[in-house]
Amino acid sequence: MRKCVNNVVVDVKAIELYEKAFEGIILNSQAISTIENTIENANKLVKFIVEAYNDFHSKIPSPLYAVETNMKYVVLAKYIMNRIDQSDELRGSVSVEDIALNDCIYIKIEEDKVLKLIYKTWAIEALQDQFEDNSSLDLEDYVNEVGYEEFIWFYEQMISGSEDIDLNEYYNVFMKEFIDACKHIPTVLNWELNRILDFGRIPKQMKFEKNRIVNLDTRYSYFLDIYLAGTRKSNQKNLSIVISNNRSKIEESAKIVDVYDFDVYGKSIDSGLLSKKDENKIEKKDIDGMVGVFKILLNTASELGKGIENIEYHGIVDDDSIIFSINNNVYSCDFNKSADIKILARNVEIHGYESNRLYLVRAEKLKSGVIKEKIYAYNIRSEQLKVCKIQFKQG
């Protein structure tokens, strides 16, 4: 992905890898040994494995250390087995059948106990179903996984017996454009690495009042007063079974549905400069564009099978347009016309608005349970969309 780094536009190929790393940091996976599962006697194998695991983790470069996928743990498992095979005392004590992967490592150390290794922690657990969904220990099965080349490079450095891993070499191999843009200055590199998932400026998140459309320039708020106006026959049919004289038949009748109407009201938002009278003054308004908001409310209520009073909306007025959100979909319509409703985006929420740019957030719950959010900037005039930021939070 193209990104501005230290005022230089470069191609950053490691974006997906950093996404996995930031997800892993939020996940904060940990394993803690319990008293019940602790091995009573000193176990040389456990001590040896934990030390090898720690050696690997202490040298692994960013962002690889934070990635919590089988791609990391398969090379870790391979490294541990390599170290065991080099030990005269422990050689042969662990076989492939004794190891299971599930975004962590399980190693069978006794008939009824396993050693679990995850992130920077370890634990001894009772053997249960850890081996039922075992993933492959063949490196070639991971060739298409995110970070494959990076992890293989580090694994080969480790099994070569290198005492010190040159992190500069890692960045030179995989992120040369990036560090060149940072001019190899450590403080600049750290700053840019921490902002690697930032692709553009985003404004402060707006706080929307429920069921209000706000003009940001005039600080005026509009809302719909929706009421039941009567009933009518619909195109849907009610079916009923009528039994008469020991015979039955199905009869149809038009379904009667409620008919709603609305009025528009508005009031100035208190800016600290309003008099008490103006602050509380609610005025009836004639705004054709609010028909668009009302129509989407009706459609959404029908689709969800809910009463219209249970459907929420919020939005803003931008010059001659109303931009509003209902049920995680964002629409626009003309402020002065009742037609031409346009959907701008689905499964998003409005983050903010600034200089003709509408900022939208799309949230996705990942398999790990972490929430991944992408913040987009949508140019209202040119209709261009670009990613501004990728961020993660706990689910």
DSSP letter string over 166-231? Answer: -HHHHHHHH-HHHHHHTTT-HHHHHHHHHTTTB-S--PPPPPPPTTEEEETTTTEEEEEEEEEEEE
What distances in angstroms separate CA 223 from CA 245, 280, 293, one per listed residue?
Answer: 57, 14, 10
The amino acid occupying position 80 is I
Mean pLDDT (10-residue bins), the chain, 395 residues = 91 93 89 54 80 89 92 96 92 92 93 90 90 88 95 92 76 92 91 93 92 90 89 66 65 71 88 58 91 94 90 92 95 88 94 93 94 95 92 91
Place of tokens 């087995």: 81
- Whether the CB-CB separation of 330 and 376 falls below 8 Å is answered with no
In this predicted structure, what is the pLDDT of residue 272? Answer: 52
pTM of the model: 0.82
- φ, ψ for residue 52 (rounded to 5)? -65, -40
Task: Using CA atoms of 113, 119, 120, 121 in order, give the dihedral in degrees to the nearest 10.
Answer: -30
In this predicted structure, what is the pLDDT of residue 42? Answer: 46
The amino acid occupying position 142 is Y
In this predicted structure, what is the pLDDT of residue 245? Answer: 66
Which helix (H) or strand (E) covers residue 301, if one does?
helix 290-304
- Return the domain boundaries, the chain: 2-194, 212-231+260-393
Neighbours of 303 (CB within 10 A): 10
In this predicted structure, what is the pLDDT of residue 236? Answer: 65
Neighbours of 151 (CB within 10 A): 24
Interatomic CA distance for residues 68 and 24, integer angstroms: 5
Contact partners, residue 287, CB within 8 Å, separation at least 6? 222, 264, 335, 336
In this predicted structure, what is the pLDDT of residue 165? Answer: 74
Interatomic CA distance for residues 44 and 48, integer angstroms: 6
Interatomic CA distance for residues 75 and 65, integer angstroms: 12
Q: Which residues pair with 224 in a beta bridge?
A: 264
What distances in angstroms separate CA 35 from CA 75, 130, 255, one per listed residue?
Answer: 30, 20, 67
In this predicted structure, what is the pLDDT of residue 273? Answer: 53
